[in-house]
Structure formats: structure tokens, C-alpha cells
Amino acid sequence: MSRLTSRHPLNLYYHGGEYVKICGSQDGYFPDFGHHLAGEMGGVWLHPIKLLDGFWLKVTDLERGISVWARADAFVSEPWGGRFEYDHWLGHIPVSIERSQFAPEREKGFVADYRVFANAGLPVRLRLELLVRTDLRPVWFSEQAGVVDGERDVPVEIAGRQALVKDQEHPWFVRVGTDLPGDAAEAGPELYGPEFTAGAGCGIAFAAEVELQAGGTFDFRLFAAGSYTSREECDRSYELISQRHEALLAEKQALYREIAERANLEIEGEPGLNEAFAWAKWNNQWLVQTVDGLGRGLTAGGPTYPWWFGCDSTYALQGVLAIGDPVLAKDTLDLLLKKSEETNGNGRVVHEITTLGAVANPGNTQETAHYIAFVWELFQWTGDEALLRRHYGYCVKGIDWLLGEMDPDGDLFPSGYGIIEIAGLNMELIDSAVYTAQALRAMAAMSGFFGEHERSAKYGELAERAAEAVNRVFWREADGLYADAVAPREMVAAKREAMVSLAEKHGVAGYGEYMERILQDTAGQEGDIPWLLNKNWVIVTPMEAGIADPDKAARALETMRSDVFVGEYGTYLSGILQQGTMTISTGVHAVAEAENGHPDEALELLRRMLRTFSSALPGSFSEMSPDYGCVVQAWTLYALAVPVVRGFFGVRPQAHRRVLRLNPQLPAAWHDRECKLSGLNIAGVRFDIVIRPGTDGQGRVVTVRNDERWRVVLELNGERLESDEPWIEWEVGGK
């Protein structure tokens, strides 16, 4: 498997299994950071509780009288975990150290493995001291749900090379131990390592003296396990991890090899894209979180948003389908449905669910519409009728909520916040309007599948009206763009001061004058007016969702290719502010280009996004481009996988019909290259797709293999071909 190295010690890393997440700095330390829980977002987490603030190693050369807290010179990102290399910072102590760590995929703990090497051609006598700080406390927003952290962590057992610590008020436990030689441990609140962490936890210390011959090595390990329910579970997890850590690592590495082979992308001449695509699949697995009694799902990002979101999921899960993990998509959507029914019950989809199960925001308008549209897409990829039935009733309620409570004027544009969560921007927004039209199309298809023909016809008619209204009302002919929002002039005027204040806070000059000008230009106008308030990236959604009229789509996309909207790393969040870029803004723009027949422009956006790969964390894209925010973000998978799989390879499954439709659109740069997508999982069936130049150098040879004789329909260069053979090879002429 691939590995990538960083020498940026203050940057963060984030990895783990489905239960435990580990986050610290790439020098092997664990600095306090974070705003949801001030100073507490790092360390070791077993959601919904934190286990440790961190752990550190002190090395003393007993002959030379030199002591240092080991600090890594390099961090190596592995798909399954991480490695730290210590050399320079050990000063004149003639050893080097390597630490590797991983969290077993389905166990509630982790292992840190140390190897000390005597590298100076001389024997060396060392004192090694491991220091661990516990910090048993709940996830953000827990106090609002009535769960308050105990005042301190209490050591309840110290025996041999282990210590068991409990939260004073709750059945939260962590057991820490080591296989360092010796039989003693020390625990107490006064024990700290090189970092004075903020948590009100307990220090645990282990020490041993060892002697290494010249060129010799010494290995030892740190083990930790926890539980948010009982001591018994904590002890079982610790025993399993400490006794089977080698086998658990082998199992985890095998899983990550399997992930690499699933939806394996090989574009000739594109090593950067191939590598980033592989790592995005691994990143996705880092973000899977299981909480017993609550569920399993894809979290939004680490380390800042390690819980579940409506809008993040309905983007990211499109990428999850494209890389062939339908079980994760189903699990995440089921979790959203469960919490939405419990919290709202009226069809509204929740926005933010912590790992305690608390809902911090009952839902923005856009995500209910997006959820409904995604339910149908998930069915297209899985053919899972039971899942469709499970979600269909709530989708019906969701449409009623969107077009009832949230659309009092009946114009098919639900009001409220969309994906752009700017204070005051709670009006009829483009993303909510577009995804509502898309949701109505999905509802027409779902109802038709279930034989509810009258309801299907009703939704179909509403979908046509909604799409027509978006193209008529939101379109700004003079600008060649869709508007951010439609609203009466007096509503925008009332929000002017707040919006100008926000722009000035971000150092944007001239926004007040811009607002004054657009208000003057609309003086005397009555009713809803289309506004370009910020030129937010969501104005590309009509093209992404297939709602835009073709002529408007062509013009809007051409307009948005300018440096007003696109910068060095991709699409700005706001064409007016031009102060931020995210993989989601770039990704949605790339999908829009691909969906409208512009693969070259889509690839150019992806190339800009690729410039940020490994900028902060080796093997990952940051939430904000190029290198800030979460060091790993779920919807990056949408940004990479959907333009490639659905756009360039043209994959359009209809799993319930056992049909795979292909409409490849390769960028011009790939016309003379072999393009392979192997191990694509659609409804449990493996597909291998290869597109290569034709024998005359002009056409294409398309090869499709599948092991269950699905009907494959290829549309390419004006030709339409069909076959249900398990191995198909077509040669299609044209450019």
C-alpha cells in the first residue's frame, strides 16, 4: 500500500478505526486545540467520549545524563494508521526511534508500537518513561442534552503494568498499559508530560531501564482501551487488543487493501489523480463512526466535525456509492432517518447529530430536499426495495414540509437556510429551490415504482413547474448567471447592514457600495427579485442537478469559468468575497461541467483541487483549500469520485432493472490513453470498465466485464449499443 511522508511537525493528523479516533500533531505531540470543545478536540476519542489527552515518551541516556521528551522529525501517513520517526530531536542520545500506531477497525482501543535503535556503533543504557494523560469527557453539545462531565478522572485500579481510570460521575472507563519490562505503574492528577493539557484528567506513568548493544533494537508497546458503558467491556477490549494486536493490524491492513482494489482508478499518464483517488477512498474509511445503540455512519470531517450531518452526507454518500460501499451509504442514511423521525417527525431532515445522539440543529431547508433526491439515487445503485420503502414515507412527509410550512406563498421555492450558513441568509435560496425540483423528480420516480400512479403524476407535474420556475425566476439575463436568492427588495434592504458587517469583518472592501448599488438598481420594483448577493458557489447547482435549461446552463458555466469564480485551488465559496475555497465548491462545479458535456473543464477544476493534496496531512485534502480546517473531509470523495465515475466514465446504474448505462465523456487529454475503472461494486456485482483508443487512433474501444450478466447499454459518439454478455468489447468510431 501507498505511504506518504510529511516534515511539517505542527500540522495535525487524524486516523482511527470505526470506534476510536486519534488526532495529534505530526511531531507526535497532542496540543490543545478546537472551538466546539475549547482545547479538547484532539487526543484519543471513543465517541461519544474522549479517552486520552495524549501520550508521550521521555528518553534518558543514563551514561551521558541527557534527557529529552521524544519529538518526531517526520510523520508517515499510512492508510491504516501512522508512523513517527524520531532522530534529530533526540539530540546527542545515540538512538533513533520509530513509533507506529493504529486503532483496530472494530475494537474500542488502540496500540502504539515503539522501536528504539542504537545507531551510533556503541552500546547505550536508557531509561524509557511513558506518560499518558486521561481525559474522560463527553462530546460537544452533551451538556445541552443533560450529560455533564464529572469533575475529575479517578484511578480505580493500578496493577502491574496497567492502570484503570473512571470518570467520577459516569460509567466511562479507560485502561492503559504497556509491555515495557517491570511491574509497576504510577497514576495521579499531578503527572504531566511535556504538554500541560487542559483536560481535568489523570496522569499515568510507566518507566523501565534497558540496555542496547551497538546496532541493537528494543521494541515495546502502549495499549489503551475504553468503554462508555462498563468496566467489564473496557477490560474485555483491553485484553483482546493487548493479546491480538498483531492479528488486528493484519486484519486492518487487509481491509485497506480491499478498499484500494474496490473502484480502482488507473488513468494512464495521471499518477497524481490515481493516487489522490485511492487516498480519498481510504480517507473515507477514517471518517466512519460507529456508536453502540445509536448507529453507524460517515462523519463530516476530522478533527473538527467528527459527527453526522444531513447536507454533508447527501453530498459525500454520492461519492461513497461511486467507490462501491453501498452498506455505508445505507447505514448513514438510516441514521439520518432515525434521528429525523425522533427529532422532527414531520419530514424535516436534521442538520447535525453529535455522537451522543443529540441534534444540534433540526435541519436546514436544503438538506431535506437533497435527502429525498439521494434516496432515489441510492436505490438506483443498490436496487434495495426494502430500503426504499423504509425511507419513502418520510420522503412524502418531507415534500409536504418543503411545499407546505416552508413555502407559504406556494411558488415552489421553500424558504430558510441552505448549505451557505450565513446569518440572515434565510430566504428563498437557489440550492433549496434546485434540490426541491430534483426531489420532486425523485418522488415521481419512487411513487411510480410503487404503483402510486396518481401521486407520481402529481409529483411529476410539480417537478416540471419547479424546474421551469427556477429557470424563469432565478435567472439573471444581464449577468448570465442564476441568482443566489429571490426575495422582495425590503427583505434584502433589512439585511443589508448585517451582510455588510460580515463582509467588512472578513476584510472585504467595497461590499457596502455593492449592496447600495444593487438596492438602487431595484428601487421601485415589487415582488420577488433575483439577487446576486454574494455570487455564492451554489449558483452552479442548477447545472449540477440537471435543472438548468441547456442554453442557460451553457452561458452560466461559461461565465463561472472566469477568475471571478475560480482561483488557484478551485471554485471560491463566494465570487464577491473570494476568500475561501472548499473541495465541495470545486467538486459541485466539476460535476456541473461534466453533467453538461464539458469534461475538459471538469478536469481542469479537479487539477486545481489536486494542487492541495497532502498540503496539511499526507494523503488527504483539507476542508478549506489549500491547508486549513479539517485535515480530512467526507465530501471530498464526492468532489473526486462523482466527476470521474459518473462524469468521465458515464456510469448510470439502474440496479432494480439489472441495467448499467454508460455514457463516457473523456477529457481530450485522455483520448490517446487507456482509462480503467476496475472492481466497481453496484448492488453486489463487480464491474470492470476499460476505455482505450480505437485501432484507427480515432474511436474508442470499450470493454465491460461483469459476473452476473447485467444488460449494459453504451451511448458513445452517437451510437447506442446493448449487450447482456458477461464480457463485452465494443469499438466505436469517432473522435
pLDDT in tens, 440-477: 999 999 999 999 999 999 999 999 999 999 999 999 99
Cα–Cα distance, 351 to 343 (Å, whole number): 11
**Do residues 268 and 236 both lie within one domain?**
no
Question: Residue 9's pLDDT band (boundaries 50, 70, 90)?
Answer: confident
pLDDT for position 503:
83
pLDDT for position 699:
85
pLDDT higher than threshold 90 for residue 212: yes
**Do residues 53 and 38 both lie within one domain?**
yes
**Do residues 368 and 438 both lie within one domain?**
yes
**Which residues fall within 8 angstroms of residue 520, CB to CB, at 6 or more apart?**
none
Cα–Cα distance, 219 to 116 (Å, whole number): 6
In a domain, 198, yes or no: yes
Specify the residue for cell string 490515481.
274
Percent share of the chain, pLDDT over 70: 99
**Do residues 245 and 308 both lie within one domain?**
no
**Do residues 86 and 171 both lie within one domain?**
yes
H/E element, 377: helix 365-382
Cα–Cα distance, 331 to 297 (Å, whole number): 6
**Do residues 297 and 149 both lie within one domain?**
no
**Do residues 596 and 471 both lie within one domain?**
yes
Closest CA to 221 of 351, 102, 388, 372: 102
Average pLDDT, integer, range 166-189: 96
Cis omega (within 30 of 0) for bond into 626: yes
Q: Could you tell me the CATH number of the domain that includes residue 655? A: 2.60.420
pLDDT for position 426:
80
Amino acid code (one letter) for 326? P
Tally the domains of the chain.
3
> Is the pTM value of this prediction over 0.85?
yes
Closest CA to 532 of 425, 391, 459: 425
Q: What are the b/e assignments for 203-214, b being 16+ CB within 10 Å?
A: bbbbbbebebee
In a domain, 497, yes or no: no
Given the DSSP bridges, would you call strands 711-716 and 186-188 parallel, antiparallel or unpaired?
Answer: unpaired
pLDDT higher than threshold 80 for residue 643: yes
pLDDT for position 224:
98
From 257, 286, 320, give the residue that closes a domain.
257
pLDDT higher than threshold 70 for residue 731: yes
pLDDT for position 616:
96
Q: Could you tell me the CATH number of the domain that includes residue 628? A: 1.50.10.10
State how far Cα 458 lies from the chain centre.
36
Domain residue limits at 694:
651-732
Task: Kindly state the cell numbers that stand for 657.
Answer: 432493472
Given the DSSP bridges, would you call strands 700-706 and 727-732 parallel, antiparallel or unpaired?
Answer: antiparallel
- Report how far apart, in Å, the C-alpha atoms of 570 and of each of 22, 484, 560, 610, 708 are: 30, 19, 11, 9, 40
Average pLDDT, integer, range 186-210: 95
pLDDT for position 1:
66
Beta bridge partners of 607: none
Average pLDDT, integer, range 533-546: 96
Average pLDDT, integer, range 488-497: 90
Task: Kindly state the cell numbers that stand for 117.
Answer: 535503535
pLDDT higher than threshold 90 for residue 330: yes
State how far Cα 639 lies from the chain centre.
10
From 646, 678, 695, give the residue that closes a domain.
646
Answer positive or negative: Cα dihedral of 501, 503, 508, 510: negative
Residues belonging to the chain: 735
In a domain, 345, yes or no: yes
Lowest mean pLDDT among 73-87, 135-149, 415-429, 699-713: 415-429
In degrees to the nearest 10, what's the CA dihedral of 62, 67, 70, 74?
Answer: -90
pLDDT for position 735:
59
**Do residues 218 and 348 both lie within one domain?**
no
Question: Residue 3's pLDDT band (boundaries 50, 70, 90)?
Answer: confident
Task: Convert the pLDDT of each residue in 277-314 to its tens digit.
Answer: 999 999 999 999 999 999 999 999 999 999 999 999 99
Helix axes 310-322, 365-382, angle to 10 degrees: 20
The 10 Å Cβ neighbour count of residue 444 is 22
In a domain, 519, yes or no: no
Query: In angstroms, what is the C-alpha Rg of the chain?
Result: 27
**Do residues 710 and 641 both lie within one domain?**
no
Average pLDDT, integer, range 503-531: 89
**Do residues 241 and 122 both lie within one domain?**
yes
Q: Quick check: 568 and 608 in contact, CB under 8 A?
A: yes
Q: In what order do the strands lie in the sheet with 359-361?
A: 308-309, 352-353, 359-361
From 622, 646, 670, give the residue that closes a domain.
646
3-state DSSP assignment of residue 221: strand
Q: Quick check: 369 and 439 in contact, CB under 8 A?
A: yes
In a domain, 518, yes or no: no
Question: Residue 268's pLDDT band (boundaries 50, 70, 90)?
Answer: very high
Specify the residue for cell string 459541485.
588
**Do residues 197 and 275 both lie within one domain?**
no
In a domain, 139, yes or no: yes
**Do residues 103 and 238 both lie within one domain?**
yes
Q: Could you tell me the CATH number of the domain that includes residue 155? A: 2.70.98.40
Task: Convert the pLDDT of each residue in 703-726 to its tens digit.
Answer: 999 988 899 999 998 999 999 999
Q: Quick check: 235 and 174 in contact, CB under 8 A?
A: no
Task: Kindly state the cell numbers that stand for 703.
Answer: 470493454
- Report how far apart, in Å, the C-alpha atoms of 528 and of each of 428, 483, 604 are: 9, 12, 36
In a domain, 154, yes or no: yes
In a domain, 2, yes or no: no
Q: Quick check: 632 and 21 in contact, CB under 8 A?
A: no
pLDDT for position 228:
98
